[in-house]
Amino acid sequence: MDKEFDIQEYMTHGVERVVSDAIKATLKNPRESAYMAKFALATKAASRKRAKLEAEGEHIPPFLIASITSSCNLHCAGCYSRCNNATQDTEPVSQLTDEEWLKVFDEASDLGVSFILLAGGEPLLRKGVIEAAGQRQDILFPIFTNGTYMADKYFDLFDKNRNLVPIMSIEGEKEATDNRRGEGVYDKLISNMDELNSRGLIYGASVTVTTENLKDVSSEDFIGKLSAKGCKAVIFVEFVPVTDDAASLAPGDEEREYLKSEIARLRKEHPEMVFVSFPGDEKSSGGCIAAGRGFFHINSHGSAEPCPFSPYSDINVKETSLREAMNSKLFKALQTEGTLLDDHAGGCVLYEKRHEVEALLGLGNR
């Protein structure tokens, strides 16, 4: 299966489609459209860098997920990051500095990485890192934020640096959002959307998809409201249970097929928006793209992990280069052992097979 499936081609086409959709979504916004057209040239240059390294036997993923802080002001129900103890209330220690993150961003640019998703905790707690990201105009930085820290200093920063794109987490309508995220969060998100829209700034929404809200968050009623407020991207993130009692909330094959068909419909009916599903249907996309196949994760302390849902590491970017981290023993073992391609119930293969990942990590340490 892996020989027939070209991960480089799959990811390159995926990047090109997202960029193409983003250009169409911003045609009525001259400044945004101009930046996206410029970024399209940057993605082609980045793709050539990756293709050259691929021909030399080295695979570079076009995506990187960076959790730039382990602090967060919210306690969202079922948060995988808190359940994994990756996010805490205590003051973080030994996190990567602003300068260390800028070094990571510079190395990523040299290697041909096109997208770096900034996450947390709550990433807007690290303004210095956000400002460092703004310096790398050839990389697009979607910033996954709960939205509660957005104020004029950030609206101004986003206006100045069009490669910084806030992606605000929302669970659907007011009741669903406030139930999971806290009272008053929905109203703050709507206020942010109105401010971003009035300034002509591109932004998106991130929706955690569960068996309970699947039909609501993919409905025309919900998506239409987001579109009317100027939202240009919706990223559907399938709920991954990190406790056994939450397993019933995780989408199964039937729900995933429904979401897939709804996204196809939404792309036709809302060309002004970009729709992405994560992790998506791994079974039809050549398996899991984590652990460096399509992306990997750097946590707030610098450890390189397969993905945020698989918090295991054998290498840290504080002590090595980003390039060496991409070729970690754990990542190579996951790729060559076939774990990423293994059959599974659906959703996140690395979470479902976490004991195998732990075993590989043990082998890598011996």
Query: Is residue 57 over pLDDT 80?
Result: yes
Residue, of 30 and 204, whose pLDDT is higher: 204
Residue, of 157 and 290, whose pLDDT is higher: 157
- The model carries a pTM of 0.87
Share above pLDDT 70 across residues of the chain, in percent, rounded to a whole number:
83
Query: Is residue 278 over pLDDT 80?
Result: no
Which pLDDT score, from 0 to 100, does residue 239 have?
84
| CA 139 to chain CA centroid, nearest Å | 14
Which pLDDT score, from 0 to 100, does residue 53 have?
94
Residue 214, in any domain of the structure: yes
Whole-angstrom Cα distance, residue 153 to residue 228? Answer: 25
Which pLDDT score, from 0 to 100, does residue 341 have?
66
Residue, of 363 and 106, whose pLDDT is higher: 106
Which pLDDT score, from 0 to 100, does residue 1 have?
37
Answer whether 99's CB lies under 8 Å from 48's CB. Answer: no
Residue 170, in any domain of the structure: yes
Which pLDDT score, from 0 to 100, does residue 132 have?
97
Which pLDDT score, from 0 to 100, does residue 71 have?
82
Phi, psi (rounded to 5 degrees) for 233: -150, 140
Residue 73, in any domain of the structure: yes
Residue 2, in any domain of the structure: no
Residue, of 20 and 142, whose pLDDT is higher: 142
Which pLDDT score, from 0 to 100, does residue 93 have?
67
Which of 44-48, 180-184, 211-215, 266-270 is the least confident region?
Answer: 180-184
Query: Is residue 11 over pLDDT 70?
Result: no
Domain around 21 = 7-365
Query: Is residue 339 over pLDDT 90?
Result: no
Which pLDDT score, from 0 to 100, does residue 3 have?
47
Whole-angstrom Cα distance, residue 231 to residue 147? Answer: 14
Which of 45-49, 190-194, 248-252, 288-292 is the least confident region?
Answer: 288-292
Which pLDDT score, from 0 to 100, does residue 79 have?
54
pLDDT, tens digit (0-9, with 9 covering 90-100), for 204-259? 999 999 998 999 999 999 999 999 999 999 999 888 776 666 778 888 888 988 99
Query: Is residue 199 over pLDDT 70?
Result: yes
Which pLDDT score, from 0 to 100, does residue 331 have?
84
Share above pLDDT 90 across residues of the chain, in percent, rounded to a whole number:
48
Which CATH number belongs to the domain containing residue 211 in this structure? 3.20.20.70
Query: Is residue 175 over pLDDT 50?
Result: yes
Residue 1, in any domain of the structure: no
Of 212, 156, 151, 221, residue with least CA distance to 179 = 212
Q: How many domains, the chain?
A: 1
Rounded average pLDDT over 51-61? 92
Q: CA 272 → CA 23, 205, 249, 261, distances in Å?
A: 9, 14, 30, 18
Which pLDDT score, from 0 to 100, does residue 250 have?
84
Whole-angstrom Cα distance, residue 184 to residue 175? Answer: 10
User: Rounded mean pLDDT of the chain?
Assistant: 84
Query: Is residue 2 over pLDDT 50?
Result: no
* Residue 278 Ramachandran class (φ > 0 left, ψ -120 to 50 alpha, else beta): beta
Residue, of 192 and 251, whose pLDDT is higher: 192
Residue, of 131 and 296, whose pLDDT is higher: 131
pLDDT, tens digit (0-9, with 9 covering 90-100), for 119-163? 988 999 999 999 999 999 999 999 999 999 999 999 999 999 999
Whole-angstrom Cα distance, residue 110 to residue 210? Answer: 38
Residue 60, in any domain of the structure: yes
Query: Is residue 350 over pLDDT 90?
Result: no
Residue 213, in any domain of the structure: yes
